[in-house]
Chain A
Amino acid sequence: MAGEMNVLGNLSFMTNMITKFKDSFYLNFIKDDRWKYITDGLQTTLVLTFFAVLIGIVIGFFVALVRSTYDKTGKLKILNFICRVYLTVIRGTPVVLQLMIIYYVIFASADISKVVVGIIAFGINSGAYVSEIVRSGIMSIGDGQMEAGRSLGFNHFQTMRYIIMPQAFKNVLPALGNEFIVLLKETSVAGYIALQDITKAGDIIRSRTYSAFMPLIAVALIYLILVMIFQYFVGKLERRLKKNER
Chain B
Amino acid sequence: MNVSLQEPLIQVKGVKKQYGSTAALKEIDLEIHKGEVVFIIGPSGSGKSTLLRCLNRLEEPTAGEILLEGVNITDKKVNIDEYRQKMGMVFQHFNLFPHMTILKNLTIAPMKLQGKSKEEAVAEAMRLLKRVGLENRADAYPDQLSGGQKQRIAIVRSLCMKPDVMLFDEPTSALDPEMVGEVLSVMRELANEKMTMVVVTHEMGFAKEVASRVIFMDQGSIVEENAPEELFSNPKSERLKTFLSKVL
Contacts and interface: CB of A to CB of B under 8 A. Distances in A.
Do A and B bind?
yes
Interface of A: 142, 144-145, 147-155, 158, 162-163, 166-167, 170, 244-246
Interface stretch (B95-103, B130-138, B180-188, B201-209): B95-103
A152 B157 contact: yes
B161 interface: yes
A168 to B, nearest CB: 10
Given A144-B93, A246-B144, A150 B58 contact: yes
A150 B87 CA distance: 11
A244 B143 CA distance: 11
B87 A151 contact: yes
A167 B99 CA distance: 7
B81 A153 contact: yes
B99 to A, nearest CB: 5
B91 A152 contact: no
Interface string B101-116: 0000000110011000
9 contacts: A147-B89, A150-B58, A152-B113, A153-B82, A154-B109, A167-B98, A244-B99, A244-B141, A246-B141
A162 B109 CA distance: 10
B158 interface: yes
B34 interface: no
B84 interface: yes
A72 to B, nearest CB: 12
B113 A148 contact: no
Contacts, number: 63
A147 B88 CA distance: 12
A153 B97 contact: no
A150 B59 CA distance: 12
B172 interface: no
Contacts of B89: 147-148, 151
Nearest to B85: A153
A144 B109 contact: no
A187 to B, nearest CB: 33
Contacts of A167: 97-99
B56 interface: yes
Chain A facing B: main interface SS: helix
Nearest to A245: B141
A154 B99 contact: no
A90 to B, nearest CB: 31
A154 B109 CA distance: 8
Contact of A166 (B96, B99, B109, B143): B99
A246 B142 CA distance: 8
B113 to A, nearest CB: 5
Given A151-B87, A163-B97, A246-B143, 20 more contacts: A142-B95, A144-B91, A144-B93, A144-B95, A147-B58, A147-B91, A147-B95, A150-B58, A150-B84, A151-B58, A152-B84, A152-B85, A152-B109, A152-B113, A153-B84, A153-B85, A155-B81, A244-B141, A245-B141, A246-B141
Contacts of B157: 152
B81 A154 contact: yes
Contacts of B141: 244-246
Given A144-B93, A162-B108, A151 B98 contact: no
Counting chain A CB atoms within 10 Å of each CB, which of B96, B109, B144, B161 scores highest? B109
Contacts of B91: 144, 147-148
Given A153-B82, A154-B81, A145 B97 contact: yes
Nearest to A145: B95
A163 B157 CA distance: 14
Contact of B112 (A154, A245, A246): A154
Nearest to A153: B85
The 3 closest A-B pairs by CB, nearest first: A148-B95, A153-B85, A151-B89
Contact of B99 (A147, A148, A170): A170
A246 B143 CA distance: 7
Contacts of B85: 152-153
A244 B98 CA distance: 10
